[in-house]
Amino acid sequence: MKVPFLDLKAQYDSIKDEINAAIQKVIDSCAFAGGPFTAEFEKAFAEFCGTRYSIGVGSGTEALWLSLLALGIGRGDEVITVPNTFIATAEAISFSGATPVFVDIDEKTYTMNPELLEEAITSKTKAIIPVHLFGQMADMDPIMDIAKEHGLLVIEDACQAHGAEYKGKRAGSIGDAGCFSFYPGKNLGAYGEAGAVVTNNSDLQNKIGMLRDHGQGKKYYHDVIGWNARMDGIQGAVLSVKLKHLTEWNEARRKNAELYNQLLSEINGIIAPQEADYGKHIYHIYSIRVKNRKALMSSLKEKDIYTGIHYPVPVHLQKAYKHLGLSNGTFPVSVKCADEFVSLPMFAELTEDQIRYVSSELAADLKNE
Return the DSSP state at 275.
Answer: -
Can you give the pTM of this predicted structure?
0.98
Residue 221 has φ and ψ, to the nearest 5°, of: -120, 105
- Buried b / exposed e along 313-325 (16+ C-beta atoms within 10 A): ebbbbeeebeebe
Q: What is the pLDDT of residue 266?
A: 86
Per the DSSP assignment, residues forming a β-bridge with 178 are 156, 198
User: For the structural domain made of 8-103+110-240, what CATH number should be given?
Assistant: 3.40.640.10
Which one-letter amino acid corresponds to residue 356?
R
Q: CA 96 to CA 146: how far, in whole Å?
A: 23
Domain assignments of the chain as residue spans, ordered by start: 8-103+110-240, 246-367
Q: What is the pLDDT of residue 96?
A: 98
Q: What is the pLDDT of residue 284?
A: 98
| CATH architecture of residue range(s) 246-367 | Alpha-Beta Complex (3.90)
Per-residue pLDDT 10s for the chain (369 aa) are 999 999 999 999 999 999 999 999 999 999 999 999 999 999 999 999 999 999 999 999 999 999 999 999 999 999 999 999 999 999 999 999 999 999 999 999 999 999 999 999 999 999 999 999 999 999 999 999 999 999 999 999 999 999 999 999 999 999 999 999 999 999 999 999 999 999 999 999 999 999 999 999 899 999 999 999 999 999 999 999 999 999 999 999 999 999 999 999 989 999 999 999 999 999 999 999 999 999 999 999 999 999 999 999 999 999 999 999 998 899 999 999 999 999 999 999 999 999 999 999 999 999 866
